[in-house]
Amino acid sequence: MATKAFIDLVAECDNFPYDEQYASKFYKLYLPHDDRPHGYMLPEVVRKMPWTPSFRIDYDAHTVSLQDPSSSSHVDLTSFCNAELATTVNAAIDANLFAIIHGQHSEPFAILGANNPIVHMERFAAPLFGIVMRGAHATAYTRSRATGEMKLWIPRRSPLMFTYPGKLDSTVAGGVRAGEGPLEAIVHEAAEEASLPEELVRRDVRAAGTLTYMSETRAGYAQGAEVGLAAPDCVYLYDLEVAEDVVLKPRDDEVKEFYLWGVEETKRALLNEEFKTNSAVVMIDFFVRHGIITQENEKDYVEIIVRMHRKLPFPTTPRPHWH
Amino acid sequence: MATKAFIDLVAECDNFPYDEQYASKFYKLYLPHDDRPHGYMLPEVVRKMPWTPSFRIDYDAHTVSLQDPSSSSHVDLTSFCNAELATTVNAAIDANLFAIIHGQHSEPFAILGANNPIVHMERFAAPLFGIVMRGAHATAYTRSRATGEMKLWIPRRSPLMFTYPGKLDSTVAGGVRAGEGPLEAIVHEAAEEASLPEELVRRDVRAAGTLTYMSETRAGYAQGAEVGLAAPDCVYLYDLEVAEDVVLKPRDDEVKEFYLWGVEETKRALLNEEFKTNSAVVMIDFFVRHGIITQENEKDYVEIIVRMHRKLPFPTTPRPHWH
C-alpha cells in the first residue's frame, strides 16, 4: 500500500524551497562583526519580536542586526550577544507572543557558525529566528553471527510526546546542548532513552557524517505553531553496532517500546510514513552508507544523497579561512 | 610540513564558484522536450563549436538548444540526439578545434539526467559542454584481526599517465561507460587495475553513496587544455574490506605500485597534496563515514560534508516526479 518513494521522505524534511527569490521575503539576522547571516526571519515575526534597543531593524534591506555598542573584547562580546538575545527571547516568552514557544523555556544550544563562542539560543525559539538547530542521532544495529543478516533497533515514541507522538524514531536522538559536543549528546541520550551503558556506547559508537536540510514549519509541526518559519537543521550521525545479546529498553518516558526489525520491515515502515520526519532521513542515509539503497535499486539515488546534505545559507564554521 | 587542511582539498576539487552571478556568463545546454539545462558552456566554446543545424544558439538568452525536428517517438529522439551530438563532436575532433580533446576519441558515457535513455557524450569532450561526468571509486581496506587497526590499499599512478602522473589514487577508479552501471565499472576496473577476482569483488564490495562537486578546469587539468570550463562530476563510492592475506597488484599500466598504509600515514599524504584531486575527496569521505574525521577533531566537519555533496545545477534523474 506504500505510495511514497524515498525521495518524497527526504523532500518532506528538506521542504524549504531552493528558489533564491523565495528566500528574499525573509529578513536576515546578523551578529556583530560578522557579515554572514545566521538566520531567516519572517517579516511578521520581526515586527512582533520585543527586540532590545541593541538590534537595528532595516525594513528596506530586510535585515536585523545586533549592534556592538563598543570595541568590546571577544569575551565581552559573547556575553553581550547572549544577554541581548536572552532578554529578547525572555520578553517574548513572558508576553506569550509566539505559539511555537508555547510559553516555555527550553534548553539552550550554541549558534553553529557564530564567531564568538558560545552564543546561545533556546531551542523552541530557534525557528522564529531561523537559526540552524543541532541534533545527534545514532542508529543501533546487530548483525547475525550465523547469517550476517542486519537488524535495526527502532523505538516507537510515546503517544504523550508533544511532537510526533507515536511515530517511529532513530534508536537514540536528542538536541546538542550549548557547551556539549554531539558525541556527548549521544552518550547521555543512549543511557536515558535506551538504557545503554556509557562504556559500551563510548567503545562501539562510530561517527558517520552529518545531515543538513532546511525545513519550513507547516501546520502540524507543533500544535498551533506559526507556519512558514525557516527551520534549518544539522544532524550529527552515529552508527552503533551492538552484539546480538544486547537488549535495548526504554528508561525515560519518551520511548514507548523498542523493536528489532530487519531491513525490509524497516523499509516498509519508512515508505508507510511511520517515522518522524527527520528520523526517516537518518534511516535513509544509513541505508545509503551501508549499501542497502544503491544506484542499482533506487532511481533517485544521487538526488536523495544531495538533498540530505544541503548547503545551508548560514555558516557552519566560525571564521572561515577558505573561500 | 603540511599546511593544507581537509577543507582546502575539498575546495580544490569543488572549485567552481557558488555565486549565481558567476554562472550567468555560461550558455546553458538544452536537450529536446526538457526545460532543465544539462550543461554550462563558455561563450568562446559555443562560438567555436561546429554545431549541426539542429542546434539553435540564442546569443541573447545564452542558450544552446537541440531542436526536435518532428514529433519523434522516444526511441527516435534518442537516436536523433546521439547523432547530432556525435556529428558535432566528431567535427570538433577532426578539425582539432579544442586542446582538451587532444585529437582523440574517448569512451562514451550517458548524460546523467537526460530524459531519453541513453544520450551519449564522449568523456574528453564533456567539459566543453559542461555535462556531468560519472565515475566510480572503490576504497579497499583491511582490518587487523589482532588489533582492529585499519589499513588502506593505495595505488600510485604511473608516471606516464596523461592526467595526474605519479599521484596517489583511490584503490580502484574509472569512468562509468554508457550502458553500464557504477557497480559493473568497479568490478571490471578492480580486475584491470588491482588484479582482484570478480567473485571477491561482487561478494564483498559495498555501495557507500556518492560525491557530487563542480570543478572549473585550470591550467594543469590536462596539458594545454582550455581553462575555465565547467566540469561537474558525480562519483559513485564503494568500500571493499579485504582479508589481511589478500594482496593487490597492478595489472594494467595505469598503476605503478600499491601501498598498504595506516590511517595516519594516509592523512599525512593527503595533507601533503600527494593524491589526485578527486581521489583525495574520496578518501576524506571514507574517513568521515568510518568515524576517523569527526566533529570532535575537525573544525570544518559540516562544511567538508556539505561541499562533497554539492547540488549540481543539472538534473541527476530522468523525469523527476517531485519538486
Q: Which of B82, B101, B129 is the last residue of a domain?
A: B129
Are residues B273 and B142 located together in one domain of the fold?
yes
Residue B322 lies in a domain: no
More confident residue, B86 or B218: B86
CB of A183 less than 8 A from some CB of B? yes
Say if A36 is an interface residue toward chain B (CB within 8 Å).
no
The per-residue pLDDT for range A123-148, each reduced to its tens digit, is 999 999 999 999 999 999 999 999 99
Do the beta carbons of residue A175 and residue A133 sit within 8 Å?
A: yes
Q: CA A83 to CA A221: how far, in whole Å?
A: 29
Average pLDDT for A256-277: 97
Q: Are residues A142 and A193 in the same domain?
A: yes
- pLDDT of A219 > 80? The answer is no
CATH code for the domain in which residue B277 is found: 3.90.79.10
Name the residue among B215, B187, B38, B300 with its Cα closest to residue A316: B300
Nearest-Å Rg of the Cα atoms of chain A is 20
The verdict on residue B321 lying in a domain is: no
Q: Quick one: average pLDDT of B187-209?
A: 96
- Asked if residue A320 has pLDDT above 60, the reply is no
Domain co-membership, A200 together with A139 = yes
User: What is the C-alpha end-to-end distance of chain B, expressed in Å?
Assistant: 48
- DSSP states of A150-176 as a string? EEEEEEEEPTT-SSSTT-B--SEEEE-
Residue A231, phi then psi, degrees to nearest 5: -130, 75
CB interface of B with A, residues 87-126, below 8 Å: 112
Question: What pLDDT sits at residue A209?
Answer: 98
Beta partners for A300? none
Q: What is the pLDDT of residues A97-120, one digit of tens each?
A: 999 998 999 999 999 988 877 899
Provide the grid cell at B10.
Answer: 575539498
Residues A136 and A195 grouped into a single domain = yes
Please determine, for residue B238, whether its predicted confidence score (pLDDT) is greater than 60: yes
DSSP secondary structure, B158-224, as one string? PTT-SSSTT-B--SEEEE--TT--HHHHHHHHHHHHH---HHHHHHHEEEEEEEEEEEE--TTSSTT
Q: Cβ atoms within 10 A of the Cβ of B116, count?
A: 21
Side-chain-side CA neighbours of A141 within 13 Å: the count stands at 21
Q: Is the pLDDT of residue B20 over 90?
A: no
Residue A165 DSSP one-character state = T
3-state secondary structure of A271: helix
CA distance B306 to A320: 14
CA distances from B300 to A209, A318, B158, B228, B273 (A): 12, 9, 33, 27, 18
Range of the domain at B70: 20-129
Q: What angle do CA B5, B7, B11 make, to 5 degrees?
A: 120
Task: Give pLDDT tens digits for A64-106.
Answer: 999 988 765 655 888 999 999 999 999 999 999 999 998 999 9
Structural domain contains residue A315: no
Say how far apart CA A55 and CA A70 lie, in whole Å.
14
Q: How many CB atoms lie within 10 A of CB B274?
A: 15
Whole-angstrom CA distances from B49 to A236, B38, B44 are 47, 17, 9
Q: What is the pLDDT averaged over residues B103-118?
A: 88
Question: Residues B22-75: pLDDT tens digits?
Answer: 999 999 999 998 999 999 999 999 999 999 999 999 999 999 999 988 765 655
Q: Greatest CA span in chain A, whole angstroms?
A: 68
What chain A residue is nearest to B290 in terms of C-alpha separation? Answer: A208
Choose among A296, A307, A310: nearest Cβ to B183: A296
Find the angle CA(A61)-CA(A64)-CA(A65) to the nearest 5 degrees: 110
Under the phi-then-psi rule, with left for phi > 0, alpha for psi from -120 to 50, and beta for the rest, what region is A188? alpha
Torsion angles phi and psi, residue A166, rounded to 5: 75, 0
DSSP state letter for B135: E
pLDDT at B252: 85
Residue of B nearest to A183 (CA): B296
Distance CA B178, CA B120 (A): 7
A31 in the same domain as A140:
no
In a domain, B314, yes or no: no
Same domain, A208 and A239: yes
Residue type at position B290: H
B297 and B175 in a common domain: yes
Are both B79 and B158 inside the same structural domain? no
| Listed residue (A22, A80, A69, A52) closest to A214, CA to CA | A22
Spatial distance between the Cα atoms of A163 and A11, rounded to a whole number of angstroms: 19
Nearest-Cα distance to chain B for A91, in Å, is 33
Q: How far is CA A41 from CA A23, A56, A106, A238, in A?
A: 10, 14, 20, 31
Pairing of strands B27-30, B39-41: antiparallel
B147/B118 same-domain check: no
* Interface touch B302/A212, C-beta < 8 Å: yes
Backbone angles phi, psi at A70, to 5 degrees: -155, 180
**Three cell numbers written together for A164:** 510526533
Mark which of A129, A157, A190 sits at the end of a domain.
A129
Instruction: With respect to residue B317, please indicate whether it lies within any of the assigned structural domains.
Output: no
Residue A290 has pLDDT above 80, yes or no: yes
* Residues 1-30 (B) with a CB less than 8 A from some CB of A: 5, 7-8, 11, 18, 20
Check whether residue B10 and residue B158 sit in a common domain: yes
pLDDT surpassing 60 at residue A289: yes
Q: Is A302 on the interface with B (CB under 8 A)?
A: yes
Cβ–Cβ gap B18/A303 under 8 Å: no
Q: Is residue A314 part of a domain?
A: no
DSSP 8-state secondary structure symbol assigned to residue B309: B
**Number of structural domains, chain A?**
2
ipTM: 0.94
Task: Determine if the peptide bond prior to B118 is cis (ω within 30°).
Answer: yes
From A52, A132, A131, select the one nearest A89 (Cα to Cα). Answer: A52
Q: Could you say which of A129, A151, A170 is where a domain stops?
A: A129
Cell numbers given for B319: 523525469
Distances (CA, A) of B71 to B68, B78, B116: 7, 12, 14
Residue A292 lies in a domain: yes
Average pLDDT, chain A: 93
State mean pLDDT over A227-252.
96
Q: Using one digit for the tens of pLDDT, what is the confidence trace for A145-193? A: 999 999 999 999 999 988 899 999 999 999 999 989 999 999 999 999 9
* DSSP code string of A49-105: S---TTEEEETTTTEEEEPP-S---HHHHHHHHHHHHHHHHHHHHHTT--GGGTT--
Q: What is the pLDDT of residue A75?
A: 59
Considering the domain architecture, whether residues A103 and A138 belong to the same structural domain is answered as no
DSSP-assigned states of every residue in B136-161: EEEEEEEE-TTT--EEEEEEEEPTT-
| In-domain check, residue B56 | yes
Query: Helices B263-271 & B277-289, crossing angle to 10 degrees?
Result: 140
**CA nearest to A181 within chain B:** B296
Q: Looking at the structure, do residues A175 and A303 belong to the same domain, yes or no?
A: yes
B140-184: per-residue pLDDT in tens?
999 999 999 999 999 999 999 888 999 999 999 999 999 899 999
The pLDDT of residue B322: 36
Measured CA to CA in angstroms, residue B179 lies from A32, B100, B108, B319 at distances of 54, 24, 9, 18
- Distance, CA of A53 to chain centre: 30
Is the minimum CB–CB distance between B143 and chain A shorter than 8 Å?
no
Average pLDDT of the segment spanning B108-115: 90
Integer Cα distance of B227 and B61 in angstroms = 23
Q: What residues of chain A lie within 8 A of the CB of B7, using their CB? A: 322
